[in-house]
Structure 1
Amino acid sequence: MFNEKWTGVSDMNGTKQYFAQKSVWAGLLAVVAIVALLGWAFVGSTVNPVPKRIPVALVAADKGADVPGKGRMNIGDVLKQKLTTEMTPTGEKSPFEWTVLDDEQAAAEGLDRQTFYAVVVLPETLSADFVALLSPQPKPAEVRVLVNQGKSGVAATMVTQAVGKMLEGANAALREQALGQLQQMKGDAVSIAQAKALAAPLAVTFQTVHPILPNTANGNAPVVLTQLAWISALAATVLLFVAAGKAGAGASGGWGIAASQLIAGLAYAVVASAAILAVVGGLFGLDVPDVTETGLFLTLAVYSFFLLQSAIVNWIGLKGMPVLVLLFFFGLPILNLPPEFLPDAARDWLYSWIPFRFSAEGLRDLFYFRQGLNVGGPASVLGWIAAAGAVVLLASGAKRTKRAPEPSASVDAVR
């Protein structure tokens, strides 16, 4: 009985000591902080994406036309005013940032260079075709909308819907205008052909440029490959850092070890990029348009990520790994949205500098544009990241050399 009582007292004391620790209660705050941090990373940037300042272009090429008894009119100017207004008919701020161009060639170049998500083309004969609605052989005036799907599938869908609604409103206004002119000219008599044409005075056609091809993860192939590149580089960073620690134990060749990490990292990057393409392409059927170009760019991305990560880990040790993991978690959600859909804080303070962005942008050009016009910028940024990471990585060799024991001291100790 004494032993049972003593054991009970000991258990009570152990419980009191356990809950008396500050770390137990501080852990509650840590859990809340972790949930808040990861919640912001996964949900904060994507829970309610509101598009703002989406760059689109308007080709206002309409030359106008003469209306019998009414003088000259220009439907293109009317549509230009309706489309580029800062406020929508419902009183909300327009999500678009319009650039007005004079010719379609400049618009095509802007689409190729990923400057615009879409282009609305008002042709030279727009007003003339509208006036023809009043003739015995009417036909709708054509307006074309070029949607740059390869730049972002999410934005392409949104732009198509929004521009379509805006042109529907313009269609209704032009229908009323044309009916009024017809009644003034012919009274109430409207032919069947004219009635059909007046149902939709504007014939709006949507054309997809730089389309997202099948078997490319619904347009997310650049993001998927970027994620795999970061994880591959992270694994290489840990493995080569541990190997460097073993090789440098009691040695003084800090510079040589750092240089060896740099060289081995390149080999890891080549193997990792080849493995990524082999797995996603050969095993899962991802359609990679140009394996050689994509493989070279992916190698650059993996190597730049490796050098950036190794530069951090070599100086502060594996304690830097949580920073790299958090960077991945924060970067993962925002890569799937266009920057114009992100909150200002996420776009300005995270997306603007996060290294994943440049890998995804370069791969997007290789997958959906295939002209080499947009890959140079991201490649140069990744190159600068790699160069800076290599310098910092090599500089860590001085720290390793400084910490190594002096050979003479070892000899004296033996004596």
Structure 2
Amino acid sequence: MKIICGSGVCKMSGMKSFFAQKIVGLGLVVMIAVIALLGWAILGSTVNPVPKNMPIALVAADKGAEIPGRGKVNIGDTLREKLTAAQTPTGEPSPFEWTVLDDEREASDGLDRQQYYAAIVLPENLSTAFVSFMSPNPQAAGVKVLINQGKSGVAASMVTQAVGKMIEGINNQLREQALGQIQQAPGSGVSFAQAKALAAPLTVSFEVVHPIMPNTANGNTPVVLTQLAWMAALAASALLYAAGSKLRAARRWTVVCSQLAAGAVYAAVAAGAELLLAGGLFGLDIPDWTNTYLFLLLAVFCFFLLQSAILAWIGLKGMPVLVLLFFFGLPILSLPPEFLPATTRDWLYSWIPFRFSVEGLRDLIYFRQGLNVGSPAAVLGWIGAVSAVLMAASVAKRGDGARGATGIGRTAG
């Protein structure tokens, strides 16, 4: 049968048929869902980060001092009470979780082990210096703040500003207290030296430990390398899965072992290529190439095993899961966990595999003592081992001796 129609009628009929399809209307819903999902992933955890319970060490070493005729005072105890209060001098909830120590060496060890974002040291002579305000030769009371910049550049900036404001508020209170003490003394006039010292009863010196050096992507080198490692592993796992899919007559065990061997080679090449490109071509500062390469090799291979295990069990349908995991994990990698909402921290950050790669690389790049690399390396190792077992178990998923969940007997699509 031959259908004759005018061009305008045919065009209208074609457009009507096009828009009558359910998939066209469904596309709007899918588009909005994608925007909402990725928007939540990219902005949901980072649009308004509010720090909570950031671990800070306080070394309360002040021995106190005697005020003639008035007994003993301990300004260190007063400062400890004010610093560790549940609220800041401005009335806001304190963002810090304090650990009070007696020795600066203990605090320094905690900074090396990434236990604290900062340490505030109240020296032994703090009260002695405060009492000297009532003498003709007053001495400034010094407080030292150690900022653990390598643990997080974002947190380091925040802690520096917050501690500065807290000390400023305490300075005002100490100034009033010192003036009251001076006025009660015989001949209560305030000398020029006393007035100068009272301008800032506490002098604060900030010292950066484990600094973020130039050419380290503003402290994000571990994050950058981890992102590249995940994407390199994703490409390797997809390609090797496709390669296994083409071997219809091969034994499944042979394919799994081949994928494992090829994945190890891919990981070794990917780790080397990352460092050569990032360090050699783009000038990223890599202090310890050997240990960084070995850890990056472990990370890439474990990522590959995890991704391959997912593909082995659910096929290429697992690719969106791996991509979404990357998009959800990407925004939170650069923030300290204390800046994340509780839901993100407990349900995503606590188990996401990127976290352990970032932690290990951070130790190698900024701390360089090997104190914090063992635990994340062990976790990555367990992730890789369990994933390898799951890959092996996928061999028995189907009974057909020539087919399996490794992709054998199925097309790459």
TM-score bracket, shorter-length normalisation: over 0.9
Alignment of 1:246-261 (within 5 A): 246=246, 248-249=247-248, 251-261=249-259
Q: Which residue of 2 aligns with 1:413?
A: none
Q: Which residue of 2 aligns with 1:286?
A: 284
Q: RMSD of the TM alignment (CA)?
A: 1.6
CA drift at 1:312: 0.7
CA drift at 1:315: 1.7
CA drift at 1:298: 0.1
CA drift at 1:19: 1.8
CA distance, structure 1, for counterparts of residue 111 and residue 341 of structure 2: 25
Q: Mean Cα displacement is larger for which, 271-280 or 167-176?
A: 167-176
Amino acid at match of 1:232: A
Amino acid at match of 2:347: W
Deviations for 1:285-313, whole angstroms, at most 9, x for unmatched residues?
A: 11111100000000000000000000111
Q: Which residue of 2 aligns with 1:381?
A: 379
Does the aligned pair in 1 maintain the 2:252–2:401 contact within 8 Å? Answer: no
CA drift at 1:396: 2.4
Q: Which residue of 2 aligns with 1:121?
A: 121
Amino acid at match of 1:224: V
Q: Which residue of 2 aligns with 1:24?
A: 24
Q: Which residue of 1 aligns with 2:70?
A: 70
Q: Which residue of 1 aligns with 2:323?
A: 325
Distance 1:77 1:336, change over 3 A: same
Deviations for 1:90-131, whole angstroms, at most 9, x for unmatched residues?
A: 322111111111211221111111111011111111101111
SS at match of 1:402: coil
Q: Which residue of 2 aligns with 1:49?
A: 49
Give the number of aligned pairs: 402
Q: Which residue of 2 aligns with 1:132?
A: 132
CA distance, structure 2, for counterparts of residue 77 and residue 255 of structure 1: 68
Alignment of 1:309-324 (within 5 A): 309-324=307-322
Write 1 or 2 for the structure with the bigger share of helix.
1
Does the aligned pair in 1 maintain the 2:111–2:148 contact within 8 Å? Answer: yes
CA drift at 1:141: 0.7
Q: Which residue of 2 aligns with 1:390?
A: 388
Deviations for 1:354-396, whole angstroms, at most 9, x for unmatched residues?
A: 0000000000000111111100000000000110111111222
Amino acid at match of 1:191: S
SS at match of 2:116: coil
Q: Which residue of 2 aligns with 1:271?
A: 269
SS at match of 1:333: coil
Alignment of 1:4-403 (within 5 A): 5-246=5-246, 248-249=247-248, 251-399=249-397, 402=400
CA drift at 1:11: 2.9
Does the aligned pair in 2 maintain the 1:252–1:401 contact within 8 Å? Answer: no
Percent identity over the alignment is 68
Does the aligned pair in 2 maintain the 1:255–1:398 contact within 8 Å? Answer: no
CA distance, structure 2, for counterparts of residue 252 and residue 119 of structure 1: 61
CA drift at 1:186: 4.3
CA distance, structure 2, for counterparts of residue 121 and residue 215 of structure 1: 31
CA distance, structure 2, for counterparts of residue 243 and residue 117 of structure 1: 47
TM-score, with length taken from structure 1: 0.94
CA distance, structure 2, for counterparts of residue 161 and residue 16 of structure 1: 62
Amino acid at match of 2:107: A
CA distance, structure 2, for counterparts of residue 14 and residue 358 of structure 1: 55
Amino acid at match of 1:15: M
Deviations for 1:125-161, whole angstroms, at most 9, x for unmatched residues?
A: 1101111122122110111111111100000110011
Amino acid at match of 2:176: E
SS at match of 2:215: coil
SS at match of 2:351: coil
CA distance, structure 1, for counterparts of residue 65 and residue 179 of structure 2: 18
Does the aligned pair in 2 maintain the 1:254–1:401 contact within 8 Å? Answer: no
Amino acid at match of 1:369: F
Q: Mean Cα displacement is larger for which, 114-123 or 391-400?
A: 391-400
Amino acid at match of 2:9: V
SS at match of 2:335: coil
CA distance, structure 1, for counterparts of residue 67 and residue 4 of structure 2: 108
CA distance, structure 2, for counterparts of residue 277 and residue 354 of structure 1: 23
Q: Mean Cα displacement is larger for which, 223-232 or 127-136?
A: 127-136
Does the aligned pair in 2 maintain the 1:252–1:400 contact within 8 Å? Answer: no
Amino acid at match of 1:350: L
Deviations for 1:204-228, whole angstroms, at most 9, x for unmatched residues?
A: 1111111111111111000000000
CA distance, structure 2, for counterparts of residue 358 and residue 107 of structure 1: 24
CA drift at 1:65: 0.6
Does the aligned pair in 2 maintain the 1:256–1:397 contact within 8 Å? Answer: no
Q: Which residue of 2 aligns with 1:412?
A: none
CA distance, structure 1, for counterparts of residue 45 and residue 172 of structure 2: 37
Q: Mean Cα displacement is larger for which, 273-282 or 309-318?
A: 309-318
Moved over 6 A (4+): none
CA drift at 1:188: 4.6
